[in-house]
């Protein structure tokens, strides 16, 4: 069971999608805390979501090529 946990955590840490998802929550929160306008925080959030979805589509294409 320990090896499975280690494997899953390792997969998550090396995943770009994981880091984009974390950043899409953390970055707008930090920006809002620093006093930047809410519109800018929303723009950053949507840009990070676009990166997340773009990476998802790219990964989907890689899996399709393997088959």
Residues in contact with 20: Cβ distance below 8 Å, sequence separation at least 6, in sequence order:
48, 51, 52, 55
Split into its structural domains, the chain has a count of: 1
pTM > 0.95: no
Q: Is residue 10 part of a domain?
A: no
Residue 43's SS3 state is helix
Residue-level pLDDT at 63 = 65
Residue in 11, 40, 14, 13 with CA at minimum distance from that of residue 27: 40
Q: Whole domain around residue 51: which residue ranges?
A: 16-66
Residue-level pLDDT at 56 = 85
Residue-level pLDDT at 66 = 66
List, for residues 7-59, the tens digit of each pLDDT value. 888 888 888 888 888 888 888 889 889 998 888 888 888 998 898 888 888 88
Q: Is residue 62 part of a domain?
A: yes
Question: How many helices (H) and strands (E) are present in the chain, helices listed first?
Answer: 3, 0
Q: Is residue 3 part of a domain?
A: no
């Amino acid at each position: 069971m320990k090896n499975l946990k280690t494997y899953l955590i390792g997969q998550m840490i090396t995943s770009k999608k994981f880091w984009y998802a974390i950043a899409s929550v953390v970055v707008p929160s930090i920006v809002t805390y620093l006093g930047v306008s809410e519109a800018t925080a929303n723009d950053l959030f949507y840009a990070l979501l676009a990166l997340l979805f773009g990476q998802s589509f790219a990964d989907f294409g890689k899996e399709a090529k393997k088959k």
